[in-house]
Amino acid sequence: MARQKKQDDQTEIFGLHADVIEQQITETLETNYMPYAMSVIVSRAIPEIDGFKPSQRKLLYTMYTMGLLNGGRTKSANIVGQTMKLNPHGDAAIYETMVRLAKGHQALLHPFVDSKGNFGKTYSRDMAYAASRYTEAKLAPICQELFRDINDMVEFIPNYDNTMQEPTLLPTGFPNLLVAANTGIAVGMASSICGFNLAEVCETTIEYLKNPEHDLLSTLKAPDFPTGAELLYNRQELEEIYNTGRGSFKLRAKWRFDKKNHLIEIFEIPYTTTIEAIIDKVSELVKAGKLREISDMRDESDLKGLKLTIDLKRGTDPEKLMQKLFRMTPLQDSFSCNFNILIAGYPRVMGVREILEEWSAWRIECVRRQVFAEVERKKDKLHKLKGLKKILLDIDRAIEIIRNTEEEAEVVPNLMIGFGIDEIQAEYVAEIKLRNINKEYILRRVAETADLEAEIEDLEDLLGSKARIRRRIIKTLEEISKKHGIPRQTEIVYDFTTETEEEEDDTPDYPVKIFFTRESYFKKITPQSLRMSSDQKCKEGDEVVQEFETTNKAELLVFTNRQQVYKTRLSEFGDTKASALGDYLPAKLGMDEGEVAVYVCLPGDYSGNLLFVFENGKVAKVAASGYQTKANRKRLTGAYSEKSPLIAMFHVTEEEPFVIYSTENRALVFHSSTLAPKTSRSTQGVAVMTLKPKYKVRHACRLEGSSIQQVARYQTRSLPAAGAKLHDCDALEQQITLG
């Protein structure tokens, strides 16, 4: 009661009674989290039908308003500062956006920013771009196709502080969504769009507009990237991407062999990796002894372009080495596609055909808006010229009306009355310069009416004809392709060696015996060495707890006290002698700080089960196949349950009996076949030994290796059970170990 009163007093002091409001978690998510998530999705990370994210669109439009489409370059810092009128996210984010769009960065096949200075390289992780005060930029020529007739084609909205207008989209004259590679991570979703060759995209769009059932792969052959490299052609994979917007394809580096100097030069790499990532991986493999053919690798990239040089050891077959490097390093990598696009404010994953359909419909609407605006302008001009035509018969009278009008405000009304024209026409007549009030000028202007009427009629016919609008779009696409198209950079490889072919394993195989100690030391010793000396040296207080006979190529699973398992091969360990301490596993396997090995296992073909005995009397039986992973997976978390401390574990290939001992000096014999195997590695297991509150399991072992003589005394018909008090003749004599 006193404690409750104290808590009430504290809550009263801090005013918590008045402020605490109960609220459903779903309501909190809906009111607080969802607006943020939708803002990131709609206003930041996902591109729209014009192929741009908001930050990219704001930057390019700012550069357009600065006159950088036809003018000279200006400092990037100036552009960044001007862009902040539309994009309040900060100068660093704006400049990073510019860097990615820049020609010097080489992230886009058709860059939108013509840059000067150091903009870094997309294929280098460490080659940083210079600060914005050192670099210069302007819009690239292709941007003409982004801004042509922009004021007529798209809607404009106020910027974030309502001081100026900005376009909702850019009226791209080609499907930029498929040309400019774009990636973005939003909240709960992401987008990853690969780039295609502009000429191929234009040709495909033209054919699609002519025939919506057009075979896309016949013209849009495959993605294309500014870093070049080779694309391993798989029609089934590409069809899946074209149809669904999801999937992946493989890219491979280009290389040549310098026979004279016996070295390999890599001059184009996959778009998805960097030269540093490749060098780091190769160095790791060389240190691990998996790439014995390489004596040195260095980055020789310069102003001419990318170049990685690999020095080969004598007798190395370059073709076989490159196939090995493709399997083991990012020199061959996959590009994962996720064509997630905002359509009318909603994210949609679309295939290439759907994208072309949406873009075509949007572009048709843009052209209609532009034609309608042009019709309105011509009608307005025609209307004014018709008013001018009415004063043709009596110019002197018009001059007299203006001359005899005492107040300026009465000029337009008097002209309206005198010639029977409306205010707009009268205003136009009144604004004519004195030098133009002559018959020649007026007749020349009036002669335009016939042409205007014909043009308006033609434009109105265009507005009502989808076929004519399509032809106009096709003509624009043909001009863009001819003017801005470039040859394909990424080579398509149709005939290649597949990765599914098994890697040649030249690791020597021979019999070995392994030893594992309580203090996490590990030895691999050959039979010949053991014959010379079999006494195992250990640190003071340490001892061998596990030993097995196996071969050098065998796999090894190392379980730790942090519920993790490390997968390695015995060939990774050097042969040692009985007189050596061996390898310290936490250091050898790169374990976390404070993490130690508690059990080693030879899984073989991953048959059988693993038995985990916990301090709380539960035993988990997990199928060994649950730990089988791909070769490149070196560590698994959640290897076993963390609910109770682990006392012992065993690899059971054939069902057999085990003994559990408790601190109450009781023992229980049970058979592993009574436990059902689980597929989940982190299962808590089932209760086998019931324990009183103050007692726990202290040891477990195989019945065969125990000191139990009266087996029937400790057996039971059903589990869980408390077991029986240990008889003197069955007392635990051996040292307690794990497994």
**Residues classed as catalytic:** 134
CA distance 308 to 640: 44
With 0-12 / 13-18 / 19 or more C-beta atoms within 10 angstroms meaning exposed / middle / buried, residue 172 is buried
What do you get for the CA distance between the two ends of the chain, in Å? 51
Please, what is the Cα angle at 384 between 383 and 387, to 5 degrees?
95
- Taking the alpha carbons of 636, 638, 640, 644 in that order, is the dihedral positive or negative? positive
β strands within 80-219, DSSP E: 113-116, 136-139, 156-158, 165-167, 182-185, 190-193
Which H helix or E strand runs over 597? Answer: strand 597-601
Residue 653: Cβ within 10 Å count: 12
Identify any residues that bridge with 308 across adjacent strands, giving them in sequence order: 266, 299
What interhelical angle do 198-210 and 466-484 show, nearest 10? 160
For the residues of 172-186, what is the DSSP string, one character each? -SS-HHHHS-EEEE-
Block residue for tokens 């998530």? 37
CA distance 232 to 489: 14
| Cis previous bond, 720, omega within 30 | yes
What interhelical angle do 91-101 and 54-65 show, nearest 10? 80
CA distance 251 to 271: 8
With 0-12 / 13-18 / 19 or more C-beta atoms within 10 angstroms meaning exposed / middle / buried, residue 190 is middle
CA distance 362 to 528: 78
SS in 3 state form for 341-367?
Answer: EEECCEEEECCHHHHHHHHHHHHHHHH
713: Cα within 13 Å, side-chain hemisphere? 12
CA distance 80 to 77: 5
Phi, psi dihedrals of residue 24, rounded to the nearest 5°: -65, 140
Q: Do the beta carbons of residue 700 and residue 661 sit within 8 Å?
A: yes
**Residue 289 backbone class (left: φ over 0; alpha: ψ -120 to 50; beta: rest):** left
The CA-atom distances, in angstroms, between 119 and each of 136, 375, 475, 546 are 10, 45, 35, 58
